[in-house]
Chain A
Amino acid sequence: MSTRQAQGTTLFTALLVLVGIGVVVQLWLLAASVDAFMRHEGSTAVHAAIASAVVFVINGLLVLYVFNFDRKIKRDG
């Protein structure tokens, strides 16, 4: 395994952990917004939805970055 490939593997693992944490945060936000909805507190649910969307964008960008990195490694050999 080349150094670049080893870097890629480490990056992928780190990203996996980060995205996993993001998903857990999103699950917590979803639970909080459902709770707020049941208590008729619309504003909390809206804020939770915005935060969840932000976390999703961060997750998406991280995934795109690592896939681009992976493609680069494959192309360069």
Chain B
Amino acid sequence: MSDEKDRQQNDCLECKKKKDARWREDFPVAWESDNYVTRREMVKFLALGSLTIAGANAVVAGLPHIVKAAEMPRTRVALASSIPVGGSKLFSYPREEDPCILVRQSDGNLVAYSQVCTHLSCAVVHNEKENVLFCPCHHGYFSVDEGRPFAGPPTRPLPRIKLEQQGNEIFAVGVEIA
């Protein structure tokens, strides 16, 4: 009984081998050599990868020079006489959805910054008493003179809005990212 079983199993194995051989004839792919990667091929692949990454790095370094900053619009912000010393005014620049703040300092100079906090994008407000730009969300403090953070979680300065004064009118003409 067991001999018959063994014979049947052997027959089956032979059938399988034959089938396999026929299949290999139809699709003559050398699987072993196909999966085998030599050291030489690997080194070539790594060297090419190295070249590609160096190229990508050069592109990233050159991007700011290649992609010129888009032309900034010239937008009328306020009348100079309407902002008292220590006072501020909110406006949008360069787009409607970009809030900014214009502040007249104690020496009479006008400065403007993006109102978006560089920490988590809350709106900063002008604190006239302390003469600072203050983010109420996480208590970030920026200097009015340069927009630099000096307390709280923000680490990057506020983008400065370039201003031009023509007579009594103040215009926003560009954004300066430090």
Contacts and interface: CB of A to CB of B under 8 A. Distances in A.
A23 B60 CA distance: 17
A68 B116 CA distance: 59
A73 interface: no
Interface residues of B: mostly helix, strand, loop or mixed?
Answer: helix
Interface residues of B, number: 23
A52 B156 CA distance: 27
B129 interface: no
Contacts of A59: 46-47, 50
Q: Is the interface of A mostly helix, strand, loop or mixed?
A: helix
Nearest to A53: B54
Contacts of A19: 43, 46-47, 50
Contacts of A29: 53, 57
Contacts of B178: 40
B43 A16 contact: yes
A20 B44 CA distance: 11
Given A33-B61, A45-B60, A49-B58, A60 B50 contact: yes
B61 A27 contact: no
B72 to A, nearest CB: 15
A49 B43 contact: no
In this complex, the interface size class of chain A, counting residues with CB under 8 Å from chain B, is 20 to 34
B39 to A, nearest CB: 5
Contact of B50 (A16, A26, A48): A26
Given A13-B39, A42-B64, A33 B47 contact: no
B1 interface: no
B84 interface: no
Of B51, B60, B63, B156, chain A has the most CB atoms within 10 Å of the CB of B60
Contact of B53 (A16, A26, A46): A26
Given A26-B54, A55-B50, A55-B54, A48 B61 contact: yes
Interface in A29-55: 29-30, 33-34, 37, 39-40, 42, 45-46, 48-49, 52-53, 55
Given A29-B57, A53-B58, 4 more contacts: A9-B39, A26-B57, A34-B60, A48-B60
